[in-house]
Amino acid sequence: MSINLGIPAVRTRGEGNLFAHEKFPTAAKRELKNQQLRANLRHATHTIRDKRINVVSELPDWEDLRESGSRIKENVMARLPELLEQFEAAFTARGGVIHWANDATEANAIVTSLIRATGETEVVKVKSMATQEIGLNEHLESLGINAIETDLAELIVQLGHDRPSHILVPAIHKNRTQIRDIFRAEIPNASPDLTDNPKELAATARAYLREKFLNAKVAISGANFGIAETGTLGVVESEGNGRMCLTLPETLITVMGIEKILPRWEDLGVFMQLLPRSSTGERMNPYSSLWTGKNGQDGPQNIHLVMLDNGRTRALADKNGRSALHCIRCSACMNVCPVYERTGGHAYGSTYPGPIGAILSPLLTGITAEENSSLPYASSLCGACFDACPVKINIPEILIDLRAQDVEAQHSVRKAPTEMDVLMKGASWALSSGTRLKFLEKGLPAGRLLAGKDQRISWLPGIAGGWTSSRDIPAPPQSSFRDQWAQREKFQKSQGPQLFQQSQASPKPTGKQGE
């Protein structure tokens, strides 16, 4: 029997909520003005970051675990078709039904038809990045089906008619007072005297959700892992809402990216150590739910799994970028990223913000998707994301590769050279010849004149304006380095060999800066 793996000969371009609606610099500039957002982000990311460092430093074999996680994922990517077949056989043997979706449109259509078959118009949901990626909630809403998020932060975002801004803490941009206002306005029967006390807020959400859990006939989930050898799916979460969704309704529909496969049951041991420490800074996850088909007596009796490509085979074909598919969505890279800390998640446009979003979105959609071509530049390349990543994804290296792809893509569509091309050609011409550089250095006095009295250049035209828009350039020195060096040599020669030897034996620099 031949099995349709749903992997097309022509690689599908990812669609859905993977696209920015504006270039990153434009969105970032706007978000930077939001002081409340920046204060919330700073507090939250630093708290989680410190917790992570504490629990990671407890493990003497942390680096070995990272290495294991990385190698398991490499192995999965190398054997993905075979592992998917193995998973499908095991999953269906235990009563589950698999559906293959090339893209967001197909996945949404499959989920819709499964819900319609039950006759229900309201479903409960466990937080899931894959369903956010395909825009499932919006799709269902447009067809009159109400999908209720049951993770507290996701519920806040949904009731606030907002967008998540962090993978792990989607409402990181909201403070308690804002949450209280949302609950008062949107939750039926919420007390008008509700305060911003966290216990009161949680109790209000709990009462609202409890009723939804008990009445739901259909639940939708994502999955953190799918085990090929057993056909098991796994969801890890912190509030118990996932456990409710996965056990109470009659029908369970899971949407999972094809890259979430793990070969063996024992591989879970590695990821169950890496994930909670890297995401919430906890030693173990509060609720870890694993299910293998149906058992005929308890739990959902209709078990469906939608296996989603949506650009993943496209990313897999990128030999430098494919390791982005190793991501376990822990969000550690976001919490250490200086760019994310200042701009927040909305500036990235896509479902996937932060350093992983800056590589994953363009890899899934292709760098030629104009809205995503600025994302690989949303990084200082400091490398903090690489150090924090539990599966050792070399994000800075992929960012540089995507930047190169972007430049090449622009060249192929534009006939005329860009400003950057002209600038680089000019720099190459000047710097490749001492005579030409010397000639250009004659312009230094003009630069000093431009700097004016305060000896700072605050504005430059064209592409160079990108530099002066956020920082000044100090006035050029009186004489060039080459001139100073020549003068030094001349002076030493005039003083004879004794002084030259003294200068060679002079103390090394102290390493202090700014002196």
Pairing of strands 251-257, 302-308: parallel
Cα separation, 25 vs 43, whole angstroms? 24
> Does 190 interact with ligand SF4 (rule: CB under 6 A)?
no
Contact between 257 and 311 under an 8 Å Cβ cutoff? The reply is no
Q: Which of 331, 365, 372, 379 binds ligand SF4 (CB under 6 A)?
A: 331
CA distance 347 to 22: 9
Q: Closest distance between ligand SF4 and the C-beta of residue 179, in Å?
A: 25
Structure tokens at 497: 């060999």
| Phi-psi category of residue 512: left, alpha or beta, with phi > 0 → left and psi -120 to 50 → alpha | beta
330 binds ligand SF4 (CB under 6 A): yes
* Binding residues with ligand SF4: total (CB under 6 A): 14
The token pair at 483 is 């001139």
Return the number of the residue (249 or 281) whose C-beta is nearest ligand SF4. 281
Helix (H, G, I), strand (E, B) or coil at 474: strand
| Phi, psi at 149, each rounded to 5° | -70, 135
Question: Between 308 and 327, how does the x/- string for binding to ligand SF4 read (CB under 6 A)?
Answer: -------------------x
Least gap, CB of 220 to ligand SF4 (angstroms) = 22
Cβ nearer to ligand SF4, comparing 157 with 389: 389
Nearer to ligand SF4, 139 or 329 (CB): 329
Minimum CB separation of residue 158 from ligand SF4 in Å reads 22
User: Which one of 270, 391, 398, 402 is in contact with ligand SF4 (CB under 6 A)?
Assistant: 391
Instruction: Give CA–CA dist 399/405, Å, rounded.
Output: 10
Q: Which of 256, 389, 399, 402 binds ligand SF4 (CB under 6 A)?
A: 389
Query: Where does this chain touch ligand SF4 (CB under 6 A) — which range of 124-132, 139-147, 385-393, 408-416?
Result: 385-393
User: What's the min distance (Å) between Cβ of 148 and ligand SF4?
Assistant: 26
Helices marked H in 149-226:
152-159, 176-186, 198-215
169 binds ligand SF4 (CB under 6 A): no
Structure tokens at 205: 């959400």
Burial 245-261 (b: 16+ CB within 10 A, else e): bbebbebbbbbbbbbbb
Question: Running DSSP on this structure, what letter comes out for residue 174?
Answer: -
Contacts of 480 (CB under 8 A, 6+ apart): 441, 444
Q: At its nearest, how many Å lie between ligand SF4 and the CB of residue 235? A: 17
390 binds ligand SF4 (CB under 6 A): yes
Give the footprint of ligand SF4 on residues 336-365 (CB under 6 A): 356
For position 303 contacting ligand SF4 by CB under 6 A, the verdict is no
- Whether 173 and 165 have beta carbons less than 8 Å apart is answered as yes
The site map against ligand SF4 for 246-285 (x = CB under 6 A) is: --------------------------------x-------
Q: Please tell me whether residue 329 binds ligand SF4 under the rule CB under 6 A.
A: yes
- Cβ closest to ligand SF4, residue 28 vs residue 393: 393
Decide whether 126 or 332 has the Cβ nearer to ligand SF4.
Answer: 332
Shortest Cβ 277–ligand SF4 spacing (Å):
11
Residue 164's alpha-carbon distances to 15, 346, 351, 393, in angstroms, are 18, 8, 8, 23
Residues that bind ligand SF4 (CB under 6 A): 278, 327-333, 356, 388-391, 393
